[in-house]
Chain A
């Protein structure tokens, strides 16, 4: 099969076989393309779908993006079972095998450094949500006044209305500051148990469909042999705080730590909870 080359990840050579039924983003099984002591994991994709123009259009098609992202993840996940892959950004495409080899050659030193840094480590995702009724409604994209879906007491006067709003707003502020404190504390604690940490932008509830507002969306790079303890620590937050929900995802390949410029200070620029107003409707 001719066509373009889609690259999922770069790894050290490994002996174990990938699952035989594994298919890549366009249904073509991934194969290994070796260059020196590095291996690119590659499959063939049709130019009609992965040429620049087509790709640009496809990336705005949710169904296409979903299928491609899941196929990409499936390959990287299979690699994670047998080695520590360095995942590439979605839709990294080359003309041909020699383009891939040239890329490996040019970036070999950086790839080796990063692979050494990630070796034996996985990524865990931890998200903190604040569960207020108001954020749920705002999160669904509905106008608060358009969906009076629960029987709030109707204010009888303007003064009542303002009093009610103030009360609600004080309760929200209180929950917010508790949530921020909680998220900051949790992030500090988990960062201490991880080799590295990254803060992602809070997730837009309209895209995630998750209830509540996302105040912490973090990724932690953790040694495989320390992962059980890490997960248990997240699990223990269960009883800590009412109105606050914690979600754990993983283990992932170290997507969030694949860049070159990592370091302990990387997550410091942004305080946990900074994004609390993100996606706010009014």
Chain B
């Protein structure tokens, strides 16, 4: 087994925290987008855009 410490923060690790963590402000806040359902949709969209833009390293 190896323990890896990455210098550059991976986007997924960032999104785990920025889209699933952090204080969620509700109430009469004017705009708040990132509720859980929407985030799930966003991630699905992301996955498809990742697959479009990044060819699979295992393809062919």
Q: Which residues of A contact B (CB under 8 A)?
A: 4, 7, 10, 50-52, 55-56, 59-60, 62, 65-66, 69-70, 72-73, 86-95, 99, 102-103, 106-107, 114, 123, 125, 136-137, 140-142, 147, 149, 200-201, 203-204, 206-210, 217, 219, 234-235, 237-249, 252, 255-259
Contacts and interface: CB of A to CB of B under 8 A. Distances in A.
A207 B47 contact: yes
A145 B54 CA distance: 20
Given A92-B23, A95-B30, A258-B21, 19 more contacts: A52-B31, A60-B41, A62-B53, A65-B46, A86-B23, A91-B32, A92-B25, A99-B29, A102-B28, A103-B29, A125-B16, A201-B16, A204-B47, A207-B47, A208-B10, A209-B54, A219-B17, A247-B4, A256-B16
Nearest to A55: B33
A255 B22 contact: yes
A142 B59 contact: yes
A90 B34 contact: yes
Interface of B: 1-6, 9-25, 27-34, 38, 41-43, 45-47, 49-51, 53-54, 56-60
A69 B12 CA distance: 10
A65 B25 CA distance: 20
Contact of A136 (B3, B25, B58): B58
A245 B1 contact: yes
Contacts of B11: 66, 69, 207
B29 A69 contact: no
Contacts of B58: 136-137, 140, 142, 147, 149
A200 B51 CA distance: 23
A142 to B, nearest CB: 5
Interface centre among A234, A257, A258 (most CB of B within 10 A): A258
Contact of A51 (B31, B42, B46, B56): B31
A88 B50 contact: no
B31 A55 contact: yes
B3 A208 contact: no
Contacts of B22: 87-90, 92, 255, 258
A140 B34 contact: no
Pairs of residues from A and B, 3 with the lowest C-beta to C-beta distance, nearest first: A255-B21, A255-B17, A89-B22
B1 A239 contact: yes
A89 B34 contact: yes
A249 B1 contact: no
A244 B3 CA distance: 10
Contact of B17 (A86, A103, A107, A252): A252
A93 B25 CA distance: 10
A201 B12 CA distance: 11
Contacts of B24: 88-89, 259
B21 to A, nearest CB: 3
